[in-house]
Structure 1
Amino acid sequence: MENILQKFLFPPPPHSAFVAAMLIISFGAYGGFHEIIGKHLQYSKLFNEKKTCRSADKPKAKQPITVAGRVGMLIVYTPAFVFGSASFFLFTDGGLRFFLIRSALTLHFLKRVLEVVLVHRYSGRMGLEAITVVPLGYFFGTAAVIYTQHLSRDFPEPPVDLKYAGILLFVLGITGNFYHHYILSNLRGKGEKEYKIPKGGLFNLVICPHYLFEILVLVGMSFIAQTMYSVSLTMGSVLYLMGRSYATRKWYLSNLKTFPKDIKAIIPYVF
């Protein structure tokens, strides 16, 4: 197994990179499992602000801290974008692969910031957990991928070069992700807040095609980087997105009675 990995990945930098990788995968599996059992990160349609009825002898329950959805999502994506941009000034050495992975990460989060400002429509709010945990995860994940790539600069290149295949997957993924986000943004007219069943593109097969294409983006970036850390981060993210998509499909089935039961969560005809 180790010999196979050596054909596709840079040698791991010293100081327990393997342990760090396993922690990432475990965290992703943990987050995905929590989504499946209903313990969601509080944003989008899965935001569930608990309300407690007040009786004559009971004080009003303390309301959770929330922010507007658009503000919350800007908080989520901006730190990672800033670090990706800053990395071009922090690390002036590298080479083509290092340039490509930094560019891909920066473009990925720039797209998300621009979508928040110009494309998405928000009707809900975000809870405190989401606006602290999620941006930290994106920021440290981005920083770690870039720094690990920096540490790998003096290692020999993997015998199998995947960076060009990674570019292709990244472009396909970011394009498909944007297209399906655009479809979602046009579901509701001005002033409308109710949720509707998305149609068009791959929405006729899965309820979260934007997550499917996001996975292609992540796989593409791990192909560009070809480090154990980037691959493990992708695996952890895939596990979480699968759990989140399962929870999203469950929400549609519970709240929209006309939702077709043959539409899967994220993988057409399978899951």
Structure 2
Amino acid sequence: MASILTRIMLPTPPSLYVNYSSLITTAVISFIGLSEAFGSHLGYSKFFNLGSQNQNYRVKLSSRIGMLLLYTPSFLAALASLVLLLPHHKDARFLLLSLALTIHYFKRDFEVLFIHKYSGGMALGSAILISLSYFSSTAHLIYFHYKLYPTQLGKNQHDNQQPNIDMKYIGVLLFLIGISGNFYHHFLLSKLRKNGEKEKSYKIPRGGLFGLVICPHYLFEIIEFVGFCFISQTLYSFCFTIGTIFYLMGRSYATRKWYLSKFEDFPKEVKALVPFVF
């Protein structure tokens, strides 16, 4: 396993900050996902009123404002990397990574403004926590690649190094599949609540892969993040992707459990995240 990773990852510089931030990122995001699975939910969407004994004391944001707070800082960070850093780092891998991140968060803001239909709300504390997590991971993905793998000759010993197995174009393909599938299933979810229906009217999703898993939008989001990982091929991107997978597994498990509790006719064969498996 270790030999495979060394072949597909860019050489990792002997930096304690890189190594520890990678491990801490994996541990923290995975822990949040495990907490979701065991009922300690971040306060947004259908889980806003679950998992907290101090609901009356939480500052509540509208879902739209909260979701914009989640994604906009990361979008601006990714966009800034294209405008400010790319002219000094003329490398295809860095261009693809920055562009993919910019498109990802632009698409999320677009969905917030024009696609999603909202219920519940968002706790301010959860919004700040998630926003900082997204912003930190986006900034680190960009910074580590820009700082540690420069393309200008003479900067340091890692100049122009490439992994033994170049995965960046496979990463682009996975990113495009993931972002398309994620958008499509978000669109299907937006059609569940018609105009004039009660704000908190929930239905069992239909269409697409909803007949197999209750969270296909999370499945395609994982494919997106695997795409980021393959484009970047750094230790941090690998660790962040592992953490994200565990988080979305926990969130999807909690979502399926919620649907089972709300709908007696929820089809038991519909899994949480991976068709026929989980």
What TM-score results when the alignment is normalised by the length of structure 2? Answer: 0.91
Q: Number of paired residues?
A: 263
Residue number among 78, 82, 85 corresponding to 2:79 in the alignment:
85
Query: Does the alignment pair 1:182 with 2:187?
Result: yes
Report the equivalent of 1:57.
Answer: none
Shift of residue 245 of structure 1? 0.2
List per-residue Cα deviations over 1:163-215 (Å, max 9, x = no partner): 01001100000000000000000011013231000000000000000000000
**Contact map agreement 1:11 1:155 (CA 8 A) in 2:** no
Pick closer, same or farther for the CA change 1:257–1:147 going to 2, 3 Å: same
Q: Counterpart of 2:19 in structure 1: which amino acid?
A: F
Query: Does the alignment pair 1:244 with 2:240?
Result: no
Shift of residue 6 of structure 1? 2.3
Report the equivalent of 1:55.
Answer: none
Query: Does the alignment pair 1:220 with 2:224?
Result: no
Q: Distance in 2 between matches of 1:39 and 1:6?
A: 36
Q: Counterpart of 2:222 in structure 1: which amino acid?
A: I
Q: Distance in 1 between matches of 2:219 and 2:247?
A: 12
Q: Distance in 2 between matches of 1:76 and 1:239?
A: 19
Q: Distance in 1 between matches of 2:75 and 2:66?
A: 15
Residue number among 109, 112, 122 corresponding to 2:108 in the alignment:
112
Shift of residue 230 of structure 1? 0.5
Q: Distance in 1 between matches of 2:129 and 2:208?
A: 31
Shift of residue 159 of structure 1? 1.2
Answer with 172-181 or 253-262: which moved more: 253-262
Query: Does the alignment pair 1:97 with 2:104?
Result: no
Structure 2: 5+ residue stretches without partners: 151-158
Pick closer, same or farther for the CA change 1:8–1:51 going to 2, 3 Å: closer
**Contact map agreement 2:10 2:162 (CA 8 A) in 1:** yes
Residue number among 44, 58, 65 corresponding to 1:71 in the alignment:
65
List per-residue Cα deviations over 1:95-144 (Å, max 9, x = no partner): 11100000000000000000000100112110122111000000010000
Structure 1: 5+ residue stretches without partners: 53-60
Q: Distance in 2 between matches of 1:50 and 1:38?
A: 6
Query: Does the alignment pair 1:168 with 2:162?
Result: no
Pick closer, same or farther for the CA change 1:187–1:62 going to 2, 3 Å: closer
Identity of aligned residues (%): 48
List per-residue Cα deviations over 1:16-36 (Å, max 9, x = no partner): 222221111111221111001
**Contact map agreement 2:41 2:51 (CA 8 A) in 1:** no
**Contact map agreement 2:75 2:106 (CA 8 A) in 1:** yes
Query: Does the alignment pair 1:8 with 2:4?
Result: no
Q: Distance in 2 between matches of 1:186 and 1:212?
A: 20
Q: Counterpart of 1:266 in structure 2: which amino acid?
A: L
Shift of residue 11 of structure 1? 1.3
Answer with 1-10 or 151-160: which moved more: 1-10
Report the equivalent of 1:131.
Answer: 127
Q: Distance in 2 between matches of 1:89 and 1:233?
A: 24
Query: Does the alignment pair 1:152 with 2:149?
Result: yes
